[in-house]
Structure 1
Amino acid sequence: MSHEQHQELLQTLHECMVECNHCYSACLKEDDIKMMAECIRLDRECADMCNYLEQAISRGTPFISELASVCAKICEACGNECKKHDHEHCQKCADACFNCAEACKNVA
């Protein structure tokens, strides 16, 4: 499949990466940073995976379904962690993560 066929997924991956990076930065500024540690870790991992999958699709990877499956798992884990926190940036990130996980599952 060409990257033209995955235009919507590419957009979703990019949006998730942007939200995770924003959440990561905002979490670092929270008062109780220890409480945010797992959120920060997963934001970083999720953003990196979404970025990697976006690049791999653009290159025409033959491993799209395997990578999308892994990306879906990471997005779900990040979304579940972010959902635990009341901060607006965490809630927006969780929504983006769950949206991306669904999109990845459709390809996996």
Structure 2
Amino acid sequence: MAHEQFQSCIDECNACADACDHCAAACLSEQDVKAMARCIKLDMDCAQICRLAAAYMARGSEFAGMVCNACAEICDACGEECGQHQMEHCQRCAQACRRCAEECRRMASGAMPGGAKGAGAMAAGHA
């Protein structure tokens, strides 16, 4: 079953979404919230695409590879932004984003038949 084949990627997507939710909430408690605006926005985008990617993989969607490619791109952006901040929650989020992006690219590059395989070829060019 698809969800078993991609379980490590599903797990990384869910862990990243949780880390992004935690980071966004913690950023809202920082003294200069305005300086954290891009971080918070990317955290929200990343959490949402991670959960979407996990759902596509869990149900074996033919578009899972395409969604995972998009997820990897957003994880890269979020991880880069969070990595610029020294707060522990941002650093943990950046690490989770990097792991998720790597897993999503791996999943998409060899992944599923049909629509996802073509998307996987695109991911190989980004790696």
- Please report the TM-score for the alignment, with normalisation by the length of structure 2: 0.83
1:56 CA displacement: 1.3
Identical amino acids, percent of aligned pairs: 46
Counterpart of 2:78 in structure 1 is 78
Aligned to 1:107: 107
> After the TM superposition, which parts of structure 1 deviate over 2 Å for at least 4 consecutive aligned residues?
none
Instruction: State the alpha-carbon separation in 1 of the partners of residues 105 and 5 from structure 2.
Output: 16
Supply the distance in 1 between the matched residues of 2:73 and 2:60 (Cα, whole angstroms). Answer: 22
Please give the alpha-carbon distance, in whole angstroms, between the structure 2 residues aligned to 1:37 and 1:94: 16
Answer with 25-34 or 1-10: which moved more.
1-10
Deviation at 1:57, TM superposition (A): 1.2
Q: Does 1:50 align with 2:40?
A: no
Determine which structure has greater relative contact order: mean sequence separation of CA pairs < 8 Å that are 6+ residues apart, divided by chain length.
1
- Aligned partner of residue 61 in structure 1, secondary structure: coil
- Give unpaired runs (5+ residues) of structure 1: none
Offset at residue 87 of structure 1 (A): 0.3
> Quick one: which amino acid aligns to residue 12 of structure 1?
E
Higher gyration radius (CA)? 2
Structure 2 portions without partners, runs of 5+: 109-127
* Amino acid aligned to 1:50: C
> 1:58 Cα deviation (Å)?
1.3
Give me the TM-score of the superposition, normalised by structure 1.
Answer: 0.97
**What amino acid maps onto 1:33 in structure 2?**
V
2:25 aligned residue: 25
Who is 2:11 aligned against? Answer: 11
| Cα distance between partner residues in 2 of 1:70 and 1:7 | 18
